[in-house]
Amino acid sequence: MRLALKVNETPRVLAAVSGPGYLSAHLNLSDRPKDNDYSRVVRIVGFQTLETETVRLSWPEFDLQPGDTVELHLLDEGDGDAPSAVRRSSEQPENLFSHPEVAREVLSAVSAFESRLMQLLDKSKNSEPADEHKRFALAVGYVLTQLGDSLLTPIYRRHKELVPEGLKGELL
């Protein structure tokens, strides 16, 4: 995927993402007096989704003035300008556990907890009134989401060998 950005007919960025991912251009106009933000900018960002990692690529943003012309050109595959910033999900400071043995133990404990919660959800469905069961199901969903966000994903980002086959290729 490749995009060329021009501002007032002047080439500014040639952005490219190879392989699976996303490439997007953003034209943002802000009138936020409480935040003292009156900006007008254009930028391109990309996400490369590798098997067990997401790489965020960003190129410089450009300030705009009234009357400016912004052009985007969709191009064939090829090289682009080097991004101004690259962030890899595997390098995030929130990733957990330097020792894979501890990570495996946590994954095992989470799996057992998730399994028990699902058993209790089935029990609730058969024994609780529908509105009570619905509230419990929402609470379980919230807990499972938090487990994923706070424990599973930070472990998977650091220990790609522990990522289940079904999750490979997803955004981590």
Residue 21 reports pLDDT greater than 80: yes
CA 15 to chain centroid: 19
Place of tokens 């220990």: 159
pLDDT-derived band at 142, boundaries 50, 70, 90: very high
Are 166 and 152 contacting, i.e. CB atoms less than 8 angstroms apart? no
Give dist(CA 27, CA 7) in Å, integer: 11
Nearest-CA neighbor of 107 among 47, 18, 167?
167
Token reading at 104: 């495996």
Residue identified by tokens 């919660």 is 117
Q: pLDDT tens digits, residue range 61-102?
A: 999 999 999 999 999 999 999 999 998 877 776 778 878 899
DSSP state of 35: G
CA angle 111, 116, 120 (to 5 degrees): 145
Q: Which amino acid is at 34?
A: K
Please write the tens of the pLDDT for every residue from 157-169: 888 888 888 777 6
Q: In whole angstroms, give the CA distance from residue 18 to residue 1.
A: 6
Measured in degrees and rounded to the nearest 5, phi and psi for residue 50 equal -85, 180
**What percentage of the chain has pLDDT greater than the value 70?**
97
Tell me the whole-structure pTM to 2 decimals: 0.60
